[in-house]
Chains A and B, each alone.
Chain A
Amino acid sequence: MSNFDGVTEQLIDSTIEIFTGMVMMEVAPTGQVMNRMNPLKDSITGMVGLAGIHKGLLAVHLPKAVATAITSNFLGIEVDAITEDVEDAIGEIANMLGGNLKSILSDKGKDIQLSLPSTISGDEYNFASQADVDTLILEFKAPEGEFYVEVELEA
């Protein structure tokens, strides 16, 4: 049985809920599902780790244009570069997605622990796990471009 049985649809719903309900941005899945990220260019990645009965991480990979649009919507100010505000906003997106993933994987609270969110960003970087993990990557389309929600769970 795959780690992701029943997860994909709920993760799509949860991503749409977060973006439409809190970011005030319409997003939709493109239908593309991958198991390896291409090198990320001019992007930011927000992530949270999972420990407990499920070990792994949730990451959201966003090109700068999408990340700054999210931050502008959140804060009501124009943002055009990856600043501390953008890092904080994208960390919070990862945190909410991670919280929803935790609820999808378990309806209890203490059998999975979430780490605090963190971010990485750069002109070009790879995001690849060294561990033996099952990986699910969902592509979404936002008005400013495509972004990706990735889940890695230990096999």
Chain B
Amino acid sequence: MAKNVLLVDDSSTMRKIISRSLRQAGLEFGDIFEASDGAEALDVLEKESVDIVLSDINMPNMNGIEFLREKASRDAIKDIPVFMISTETGDDIIGEAKSLGAVGALKKPFTPDKVNEVLGPLM
């Protein structure tokens, strides 16, 4: 069954690019939900049926690390996998994200081929 995806990025342009890249990568997915920061993402996760989250790190209001930390404290949503898509790829930041439950990371910029390679196994 196709998975529902939540895209979390403060840039509406980047959310469109990621959505387009998922299609260009030939990945099958169900509904796509969008949020512009971690707080909005938590609201969507509480209300909608989301199977995987693709999240930026550097965002206003609630960044990707704070989002992971808050999500991990909520039983109803803590097991939904989160994959980071960000310009932030330093070992210590990605290490912190993974310690908070992130299942992987993809560096911006990316190509549809790279999206297929890293997200294909999760979709």
Contact = CB atoms under 8 A, between A and B. Distances in A.
Interface residues of A, number: 27
A152 B21 CA distance: 33
Contact of B88 (A91, A99, A116): A99
Given A74-B16, A76-B20, A108 B90 contact: yes
Contacts, number: 71
A89 B13 contact: yes
Contacts of A3: none
7 contacts: A22-B108, A22-B110, A75-B13, A96-B108, A103-B90, A107-B90, A109-B93
B111 interface: yes
A96 B13 contact: no
Contacts of A22: 17, 108-111
A17 interface: yes
A115 to B, nearest CB: 9
Nearest to A113: B58
Contacts of A17: 109
Given A88-B11, A116-B60, A108 B109 contact: no
Interface of B: 10-14, 16-17, 20, 58-60, 86-94, 107-111
Interface in A73-101: 74-76, 85, 88-89, 91-92, 95-96, 98-100
Given A100-B87, A116-B58, A92 B11 contact: yes
A113 B109 CA distance: 19
A18 interface: yes
B13 A109 contact: no
Contacts of B111: 21-22
A95 B87 contact: yes
Contacts of B87: 95-96, 98-100, 102, 114
B13 A74 contact: yes
B11 A99 contact: no
Given A98-B87, A102-B87, 9 more contacts: A17-B109, A22-B108, A71-B13, A75-B16, A92-B14, A95-B58, A100-B87, A102-B88, A107-B90
Interface string A104-123: 00111110001010000000
Given A18-B109, A89-B13, A92-B11, A106 B90 contact: yes
B34 to A, nearest CB: 13
B11 A109 contact: no
A123 B101 CA distance: 47
